[in-house]
């Protein structure tokens, strides 16, 4: 199969090109019109498939529900927003609930499904800080230990790829060092850590930060906090929710301009309420949440609990409202998360030999077509 457009994102720019796909891989890239195309998208933009490494659920399914049919439905339908791969993300709960949740993800990954690729699990909690717990249920927040993580990873059959933890509670950075040695990305979040503690966490292997600005110690000019560390440690990856609600467009612009093009990661932090009407009510992590008119989800006391963001809409918000350069914004949902997860050998860009994960965007950022491993989804 060959698809082509006058605007294909290659080498940080749009060029007229044709992309050849065979057996789930990109097997050739040629000048536009050189070969007969099966689909010609004119001047519509062809970009790499989007990745969402922090999303709890959608369509009334939550990762903690541990229902295989819900996870399969999610993977099949999330392609409508251009997402071609994602990490199913947990939320703090009892050991029993989390064990069943990660085992369910492993079962679906190994048992077969359609749509976006489930890359593994983002284990958010329970190793968090009480002050910045957000919507995480406090009764299940626990001290980080290698032994407890090993139990969860055994239940997940090795599919936990990324974990959020509060480094100030990780004694001697024991868990951080263990995870790094075993190929699990450590992300700092839901944390009251100081700037200095964040620097030491980075030195001991931490690689990312979880939803920068939210659920972390703020920046001040004499106490720089985790937000200050996100600005200053430019080789530290950092997720950010790009819905314009969790962080204003100005805050998004400040973050991306400080971070540069290679280390910011757009996430949805979407809940099971994604894809449901305004006013919908759900239980998340044991807490009652309601979807507000702007698409954000809140606890009864007004605390932000998550979003219902579509990644293609996040791209539009970054470029058109936050005035972030297009390459910064696109990298944040393609090559940056791929590189953070050590998957850039097969994900994140349109290059020969990589997975044929491809999105066709309309001028208004609507998704016209999504290809997962070369298969058209819409």
Q: What pLDDT digit, counting tens, does each position of 209-255 carry?
A: 999 999 999 999 999 999 999 999 999 999 999 999 999 999 999 99
In a domain, 65, yes or no: yes
In a domain, 154, yes or no: yes
In the numeric block, the tokens 């066709």 are attached to 360
Main-chain dihedrals φ then ψ at residue 46, nearest 5 degrees:
-110, 120
Say if CB 359 and CB 50 are below 8 A apart: yes
What pLDDT, on a 0 to 100 scale, did the predictor assign at position 295?
A: 85
Residues lower than pLDDT 70 in the chain? none
| Bond from prior residue into 96 cis (ω within 30 degrees of 0) | no
Say if CB 105 and CB 88 are below 8 A apart: yes
How far apart, in whole angstroms, are the C-alpha atoms of residue 346 and residue 118? 14
Left, alpha or beta for 164 (phi > 0: left; psi -120 to 50: alpha)? beta
Instruction: Read off the CATH number of the domain in which 141 is found.
Output: 3.20.20.140
Say if CB 163 and CB 186 are below 8 A apart: yes
Say if CB 151 and CB 122 are below 8 A apart: no
Q: Which of 269, 294, 357, 366 is catalytic?
A: 269
In a domain, 39, yes or no: no
In a domain, 329, yes or no: yes
In a domain, 368, yes or no: no
pTM of the model: 0.96
Nearest Cα residue to 45 out of 18, 21, 14: 14
How far apart, in whole angstroms, are the C-alpha atoms of residue 222 and residue 284? 36
What pLDDT, on a 0 to 100 scale, did the predictor assign at position 17?
A: 98
For the chain, what is the domain count?
Answer: 1
Tens-digit pLDDT profile for residues 359-372: 999 999 999 999 99
- Pairing relationship of beta strands 83-89 and 50-55 according to DSSP bridges: parallel
Q: Is the dihedral of CA 135, 137, 143, 148 positive or negative?
A: negative
In a domain, 32, yes or no: no
What pLDDT, on a 0 to 100 scale, did the predictor assign at position 286?
A: 78
What pLDDT, on a 0 to 100 scale, did the predictor assign at position 167?
A: 98
Range of the domain at 207: 48-348
What pLDDT, on a 0 to 100 scale, did the predictor assign at position 334?
A: 98
What pLDDT, on a 0 to 100 scale, did the predictor assign at position 297?
A: 86
In a domain, 328, yes or no: yes
What pLDDT, on a 0 to 100 scale, did the predictor assign at position 304?
A: 81
Q: What strands, in cross-sheet order, belong to the sheet with 83-89? A: 50-55, 83-89, 117-124, 160-165, 185-188, 208-209
115: helix, strand or coil: coil
Known active-site residue 294: no
- Pairing relationship of beta strands 13-22 and 25-31 according to DSSP bridges: antiparallel
In a domain, 16, yes or no: no
């Amino acid at each position: 199969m060959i698809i082509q457009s006058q605007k294909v994102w290659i080498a940080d720019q749009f060029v007229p090109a044709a992309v050849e796909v065979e057996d789930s891989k990109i097997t050739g890239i040629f000048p536009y019109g050189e070969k007969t195309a099966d689909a010609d998208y004119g001047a519509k933009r062809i970009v790499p498939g989007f990745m969402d490494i922090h999303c709890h659920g959608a369509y009334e399914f939550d990762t903690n529900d541990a229902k295989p049919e819900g996870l399969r439905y999610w993977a099949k339908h999330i392609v409508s927003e251009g997402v071609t791969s994602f990490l199913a993300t947990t939320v703090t709960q009892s050991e029993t609930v989390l064990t069943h949740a990660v085992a369910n993800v492993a079962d679906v990954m190994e048992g077969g499904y359609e749509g976006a690729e489930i890359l593994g699990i983002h284990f958010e909690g329970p190793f968090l800080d009480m002050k910045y717990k957000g919507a995480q249920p406090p009764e299940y927040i626990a001290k980080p230990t290698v032994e407890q993580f090993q139990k969860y990873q055994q239940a997940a059959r090795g599919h936990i790829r990324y974990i959020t933890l509060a480094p100030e509670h990780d004694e001697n950075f024991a868990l951080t060092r263990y995870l790094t040695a075993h190929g699990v990305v450590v992300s700092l979040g839901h944390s009251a850590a100081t700037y200095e503690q964040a620097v030491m966490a980075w030195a001991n292997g931490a690689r990312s930060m979880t939803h920068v600005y939210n659920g972390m110690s703020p920046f001040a000019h004499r106490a720089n906090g985790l937000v200050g560390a996100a600005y200053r440690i430019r080789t530290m990856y950092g997720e950010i929710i790009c819905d314009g609600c969790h962080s204003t467009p100005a805050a998004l612009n400040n973050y991306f301009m400080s971070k540069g093009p290679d280390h910011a990661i757009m996430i949805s932090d979407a809940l099971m309420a994604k894809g449901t009407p305004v006013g919908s009510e759900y239980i998340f992590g044991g807490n009652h949440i309601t979807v507000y008119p702007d698409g954000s989800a809140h606890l009864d006391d007004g605390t932000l609990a998550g979003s219902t963001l579509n990644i293609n809409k996040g791209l539009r918000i970054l470029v058109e409202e936050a005035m972030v350069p297009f390459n910064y914004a696109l990298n944040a949902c393609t090559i940056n998360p791929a590189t953070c997860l050590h998957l850039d050998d097969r994900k994140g860009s349109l290059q020969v030999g990589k997975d044929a994960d491809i999105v066709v965007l309309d001028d208004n950022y609507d998704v016209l077509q999504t290809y997962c491993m070369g298969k058209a989804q819409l």
